[in-house]
Amino acid sequence: MTESVLPSMTETLLVRLIVLGLISAGGLVIGWQGYRGFRRNDNQTLLWLSVGILLLTTVPIGGAGLLRITDVVTQQSVNLIVLVLINSGLIVILYAFTRG
């Protein structure tokens, strides 16, 4: 008779998948552009920046999705792996900015 105010679980999951896909695709595009800049200018900073962006965006999303699908590890382990990957990306980006 009355519809629920909260969206159903499938709609929420679909929205999450779309947002994560957009973030991952954006990270791939930016990482690829950084790699192209490295190849064109032979600048190591752009290579490290590209790797850091990929570690910050695309790798954690894909890795977490793969680990959740296969049920190899627990949810807490997946969260820890994602946090390690994100922090690794930040460290690589910091290295790219400070190396000299």
pLDDT of 5 > 80? The answer is no
pLDDT of 100 > 70? The answer is no
Query: What letter does residue 1 receive in the DSSP assignment?
Result: -
Concatenating the DSSP letter of every residue in 3-53 gives --SSPPHHHHHHHHHHHHHHHHHHHHHHHHHHHHHHHHHT-HHHHHHHHHH
pLDDT of 99 > 70? The answer is yes
pTM over 0.85? The answer is: no
94 pLDDT band, cuts 50/70/90, is very high
pLDDT in tens, 23-75: 999 999 999 999 999 999 999 999 999 999 999 999 999 888 888 888 888 88
User: What per-residue confidence (pLDDT) applies to 39?
Assistant: 95
User: What per-residue confidence (pLDDT) applies to 68?
Assistant: 82
